[in-house]
């Protein structure tokens, strides 16, 4: 008996109401507000959309655009005391959700509508077995007996592609990897055969190869089981791969909504146009400067009657002082822009700066940083009886970075890329290998030489929220190294220099008075960059420096980094997991997997003609923001997950997942060889 | 520059006044601060404030109820309780506050250092803390008082302060260490290390301000414990001894025997201790919020 049949049976049993022709979910003029200490925040204003049975709808937007709040409003999971829905109507399957009492709503949640959250690490209860957590909704909502629920749980785990389900039911969440946990979450979401699944950033926390697996699984399940999906995401590539229809939200309102093809290929709102242009893309030739949407989203506590996007819109005219309604455009989409007809007529296009922004190595043969056979192992403490093992986080890594060059370092989580950065910064001591900075071997350097090196090597961290000391003002944060290293003398001098540095990163000098929590994410990242620049470095490690930022802000920061690089002749080690971003910014790219370098080559070679199977798989898994390409693409999915560091594979580390694996691969550790001039790969098959 | 991100409007220049800001943002804190100042005033200028000599025995009015002459009544020896409370605030402040401050501060530094350095240093510090934690507060204080010679500076029993500070130290160290461990892995600490700042600078400038919340809470909470510990030691004859005026001493001893005839004998010292503890706790709380830039609008 196939799973799909069972599901149909189940649904037929549950669903006694007549099937209406009306859409499954009909959200009409939804308004959601939060009362906060600083007044009423209108998080969602006048959002209307419908979802048909079996349809996949994506809600895209930056943080604070109201996309998650829309989902929570549908589930009625808003904070009881502060959140309320003053206006609007949500019809689900013929019932008005806003008019149900709590008990009726509780029966709908998890049974007819289920929700999948972003963070698979924290959305499962760590002290209950997986089995218990899957069986719970079955027993509560469907009144199954324990053995029925057990049978259904096994079926569900098989459905989401977890092998050996009987055994895994008795395991705890920590025994599952991140991708496996997200599969379990999906299994729980599917448990009662819901009609609608709302997935809030379901793959954001996952690696790109795992993301591809999960996306494929969800798409497949929604088709097979005829479940409508609402996906909330900021990743345009994910939207293109998935969605039938797209809703682009900006500042609590719908900016544009329509079929995915229309919105992606013929956007009719300046914000969606800008959003699509501001992401570095794998499917287009690498241009010069990224085109960005300048400025910041508005504060939702301020009431406004103008177009919400007008302050950032390059095409704003007088009429934009009035809030535009949702116009129906020529492509069949709805756009909240007065000038949508001019956009359709091609009269308005984003201007392209083009040209600039190339960052190839200056003509020099002396590398600024040279890493040779770098190895780092961490000791793990075992239990009482087990002996502790060692985890080899980084093994035999060698590369050079030349002055003024950007070297991209890509890989999935746990591949050791961050450890490489920390070793170079001397935040960790290497177990073996050498790091030469400007000709000085750091492991034999004198304290004075090390101190001089500290000035020259700086870092920009991923998380703009935790990388600034919350107790210090921006001025103190940037000014501290100036004091300590006596780079400039005297209070006034320091203040002048801080103002100068702030201007360099595109902030106003008055910002020096502020504390980090008073700044937005992008502004904080700029402060982090200014702090690094204060030391007048020649080399900066950018550890996922733009990963935590919103798409439009990310473009601004990438442009800033490139501009600073040209201005000050900086060399960057750009560590990231986003292949498109790395391609945009780097001259050469190093691909790491499981602590080892897989491939090193010039950017265009890596993205155009990679040799190593892992690089191919990685590039293949990354979604691009173009629905036509995504639909044509044959999913060549990588199987399995990262091996355990406690039981590393013998031979080639990629042999456990490689599509071209042979017996030889499991025996020989492939050396990193120059296969073509300047193109290194560690694979015996090429 | 081609890309100036639009920032919020420029902050108005203003002369910041810490005291006015504190009173406006933390009205409860201001009230508690007034109570603490009053206590300090009473402690420092006791002879001027107190209506009677705290040691003066008046057999004419033994166990007198509160009246216009004796606001808080008299005790079993006819001594004026109000005056004794005023003189007692000296002892309470000096012993209670000083010992808690010394113990908590040393404990906090030890805790941060333990978390920052980690490894073997952490192990050694924590095992030392374990040993100290193995003894109840009062027993450890007893041992220290008994082990060292009585040593006074300006009439203040330093021995007693040290004896009460030592048991406080490991308790604060343990709590502050756990807070510091989470601060230790914050990227801003890594950033400070990457710049090559000295250990002292990182500990005091980057880590300490971020563990100030548990420190202040422990500090103010232990003031109360210290006052009570002082009372217990005094009762055992190892701390402040009769006839010195001390709040703890006034609560213990023969005061308990007279609670039916003369409830004011324990009522007023009790109120004094509660008020002091309340004021310090509240003040610590407000100070913590006030010092945290994130609570500011």
Residue of A nearest to B207 (CA): A469
Q: Give the pLDDT confidence score for residue A356 in this predicted structure.
A: 42
pLDDT in tens, B252-295: 766 667 777 778 888 888 888 888 888 888 888 888 888 877 76
The DSSP-derived string for B260-283 is TT-THHHHHHHHHHHHHHHHHHHH
Structure tokens at B85: 């409370």
Residue of B nearest to A531 (CA): B191
- The answer to whether A506 contacts B5, with C-beta atoms less than 8 Å apart, is yes
* DSSP classification of residue A324: P
- The answer to whether A484 contacts B210, with C-beta atoms less than 8 Å apart, is no
Rounded to the nearest angstrom, the minimum Cα separation between A454 and chain B is: 6
Q: Give the pLDDT confidence score for residue A444 in this predicted structure.
A: 86
- The answer to whether A467 contacts B201, with C-beta atoms less than 8 Å apart, is no
Q: Does A75 have pLDDT greater than 50? A: yes
- The answer to whether A295 contacts B6, with C-beta atoms less than 8 Å apart, is yes
Q: Which residues in chain A have their CB less than 8 angstroms from residue B10's CB?
A: 508, 510
Q: Give the pLDDT confidence score for residue B2 in this predicted structure.
A: 39
Q: Give the pLDDT confidence score for residue A288 in this predicted structure.
A: 67
Q: Does A361 have pLDDT greater than 50? A: no
Helix H or strand E segment including A521: helix A521-534
Bridge partners, A248 (sequence order): A60, A256
Q: Give the pLDDT confidence score for residue B295 in this predicted structure.
A: 66
pLDDT in tens, A212-248: 888 888 888 888 888 999 999 888 888 888 788 999 9
Q: Which residues in chain A have their CB less than 8 angstroms from residue B190's CB?
A: 422, 425, 427, 459, 461
Structure tokens at A116: 């999948």
Residue of A nearest to B212 (CA): A471
Q: Do residues A205 and A21 make contact, with C-beta atoms less than 8 angstroms apart?
A: no
Interface with B, mutate which of A442, A469, A561 (most B CBs under 10 A)? A469
- The answer to whether B10 contacts A508, with C-beta atoms less than 8 Å apart, is yes
Q: What is the ipTM of this complex?
A: 0.75
**Start-end of H helices in chain B:** 18-25, 27-44, 46-49, 81-91, 98-117, 119-133, 137-147, 158-184, 187-195, 199-201, 212-235, 247-251, 264-291
- The answer to whether B3 contacts A517, with C-beta atoms less than 8 Å apart, is no
Q: How far apart are CA A38 and CA A8, in angstroms?
A: 50
Q: Which of B4, B186, B192 is opposite residue A506, by nearest beta carbon? A: B4
- The answer to whether A531 contacts B191, with C-beta atoms less than 8 Å apart, is yes
Q: Does A384 have pLDDT greater than 80? A: no
Q: How far apart are CA B270 and CA B274, in angstroms?
A: 6
**In B180-204, which positions are buried (b, 16+ CB within 10 angstroms) versus exposed (e)?**
bbebbebbbbbbbbbbbbeeeebbe
Residue of B nearest to A504 (CA): B1
Q: Which of B1, B196, B293 is opposite residue A517, by nearest beta carbon? A: B293
With CA atoms as reference, report the closest residue to A232 among A23, A31, A12, A67: A67
- The answer to whether A470 contacts B293, with C-beta atoms less than 8 Å apart, is yes
> Which backbone phi and psi does A553 adopt, to 5 degrees?
-75, -40
Q: Give the pLDDT confidence score for residue A386 in this predicted structure.
A: 53
Residue of B nearest to A564 (CA): B1
With CA atoms as reference, report the closest residue to A209 among A477, A19, A414: A414
| All residues at 6 or more sequence positions from A118 whose CB lies less than 8 Å from its CB, including other chains | A200, A201, A202, A204, A205
Comparing A112-116, A518-522, B227-231, which segment has the lowest mean pLDDT?
B227-231
- The answer to whether A296 contacts B1, with C-beta atoms less than 8 Å apart, is no
């Amino acid at each position: 008996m196939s799973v799909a049949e069972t599901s149909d049976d189940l649904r037929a049993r549950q669903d006694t109401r007549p099937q209406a022709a009306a859409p499954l979910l009909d959200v009409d003029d939804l308004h959601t507000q939060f009362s906060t200490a600083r007044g009423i925040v209108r998080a969602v204003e006048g959002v209307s959309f419908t979802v048909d049975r079996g349809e996949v709808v994506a809600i895209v937007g930056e943080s604070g655009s109201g996309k998650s709040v829309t989902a929570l409003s549908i589930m009625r999971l808003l904070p009881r005391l502060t959140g309320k829905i003053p206006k609007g109507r949500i019809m689900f399957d013929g019932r008005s959700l806003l008019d149900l009492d709590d008990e009726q709503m509780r029966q709908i949640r998890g049974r007819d509508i289920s929700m999948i959250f972003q963070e698979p690490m924290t959305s499962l209860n760590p002290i209950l077995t997986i089995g218990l957590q899957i069986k719970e909704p079955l027993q509560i909502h469907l009144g199954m007996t324990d053995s029925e629920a057990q049978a259904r749980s096994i079926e569900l785990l098989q459905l989401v592609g977890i092998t050996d389900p009987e055994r895994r039911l008795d395991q705890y969440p920590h025994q599952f990897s991140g991708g496996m946990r997200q599969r379990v979450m999906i299994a729980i979401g599917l448990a009662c055969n819901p009609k609608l699944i709302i997935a809030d950033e379901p793959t954001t926390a996952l690696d790109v190869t795992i993301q591809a697996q999960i996306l494929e699984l969800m798409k497949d399940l929604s088709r097979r089981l005829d479940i409508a999906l609402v996906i909330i995401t900021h990743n345009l590539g994910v939207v293109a791969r998935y969605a039938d229809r797209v809703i682009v939200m900006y500042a609590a309102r719908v900016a544009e909504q329509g079929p995915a093809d229309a919105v992606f290929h013929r956007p009719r709102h300046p914000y969606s146009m800008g959003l699509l242009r501001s992401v570095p893309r794998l499917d287009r030739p690498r241009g010069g400067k990224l085109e960005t949407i300048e400025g910041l989203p508005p504060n939702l506590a301020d009431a406004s009657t103008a177009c919400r996007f007008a302050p950032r819109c390059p095409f704003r005219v007088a009429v934009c002082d009035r809030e535009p309604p949702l116009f129906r455009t020529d492509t069949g989409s709805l756009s909240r822009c007065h000038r949508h007809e001019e956009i359709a007529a091609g009269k308005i296009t984003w201007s392209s700066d083009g040209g600039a922004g190339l960052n190839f190595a200056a003509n020099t043969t002396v590398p600024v940083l040279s890493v040779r056979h770098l190895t780092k192992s961490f000791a793990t403490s075992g239990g009482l009886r087990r002996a502790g093992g060692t985890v080899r986080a980084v093994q035999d890594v060698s590369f050079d970075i030349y002055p003024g060059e950007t070297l991209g370092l890509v890989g999935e989580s746990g591949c050791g890329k961050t450890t490489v950065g920390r070793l170079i910064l001397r935040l960790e001591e290497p177990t073996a290998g050498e790091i030469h900075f400007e000709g000085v071997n750091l492991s034999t350097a004198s304290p004075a030489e090390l101190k001089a090196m500290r000035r020259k090597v700086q870092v920009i961290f991923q998380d703009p929220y935790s990388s600034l000391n919350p107790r210090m003002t921006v001025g103190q944060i940037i000014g501290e190294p100036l004091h300590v290293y006596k780079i400039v003398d005297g209070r006034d001098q320091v203040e002048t220099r801080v103002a100068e540095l702030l201007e360099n990163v595109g902030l106003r000098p008055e910002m020096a008075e502020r504390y980090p929590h008073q700044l937005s994410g992008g502004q904080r990242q700029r402060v982090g960059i200014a702090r690094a620049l204060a030391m007048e470095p020649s080399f900066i490690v950018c550890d996922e420096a733009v990963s935590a930022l919103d798409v439009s802000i990310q473009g601004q920061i990438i442009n800033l980094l490139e501009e600073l690089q040209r201005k000050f002749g900086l060399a960057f080690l750009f560590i990231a997991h986003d292949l498109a971003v790395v391609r945009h910014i780097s001259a050469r790219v190093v691909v790491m997997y499981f602590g080892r370098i897989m491939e090193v080559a010039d950017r265009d070679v890596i993205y155009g003609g990679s040799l190593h199977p892992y690089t191919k798989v990685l590039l293949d898994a990354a979604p691009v923001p173009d629905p036509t390409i995504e639909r044509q693409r044959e999913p060549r999915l990588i199987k399995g997950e990262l091996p355990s560091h406690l039981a590393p594979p013998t031979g080639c580390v990629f042999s456990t997942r490689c599509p071209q694996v042979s017996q030889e691969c499991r025996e020989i550790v492939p050396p990193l060889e120059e296969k073509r001039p300047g193109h290194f790969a560690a694979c015996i098959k090429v | 520059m081609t890309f100036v991100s639009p920032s919020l409007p420029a902050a108005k220049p203003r002369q910041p006044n810490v005291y006015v800001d504190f009173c406006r943002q933390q009205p409860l804190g201001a009230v508690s601060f007034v109570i603490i100042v009053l206590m300090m005033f009473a402690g420092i200028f006791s002879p001027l404030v107190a209506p009677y000599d705290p040691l003066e025995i008046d057999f004419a009015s033994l166990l007198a109820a509160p009246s216009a002459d004796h606001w808080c009544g008299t005790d079993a020896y006819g001594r004026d309780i109000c005056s004794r409370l005023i003189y007692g605030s000296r002892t309470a402040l000096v012993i209670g506050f000083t010992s808690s401050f010394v113990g908590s501060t040393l404990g906090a530094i030890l805790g941060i250092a333990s978390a920052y350095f980690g490894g073997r240093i952490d192990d050694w510090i924590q095992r030392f803390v374990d040993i100290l934690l193995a003894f109840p507060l009062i027993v450890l204080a007893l041992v220290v008082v008994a082990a060292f010679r009585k040593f006074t500076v300006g009439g203040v029993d330093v021995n007693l302060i040290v004896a009460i500070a030592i048991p406080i130290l490991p308790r604060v160290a343990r709590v502050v260490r756990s807070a510091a461990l989470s601060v230790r892995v914050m990227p801003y600490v890594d950033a400070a290390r990457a710049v090559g700042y000295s250990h002292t600078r990182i500990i005091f400038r980057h880590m300490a301000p971020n563990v100030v919340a548990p420190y202040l809470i422990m500090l103010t909470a232990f003031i109360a414990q210290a006052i009570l510990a002082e009372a217990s030691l005094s009762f055992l004859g190892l701390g402040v001894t009769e006839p010195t005026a001390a709040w703890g001493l006034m609560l213990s001893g023969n005061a308990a025997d007279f609670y039916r005839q003369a409830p004011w004998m324990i009522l007023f010292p009790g109120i004094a201790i509660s008020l002091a503890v309340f004021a310090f706790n509240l003040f610590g709380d407000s100070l913590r919020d006030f010092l945290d830039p994130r609570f500011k609008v």
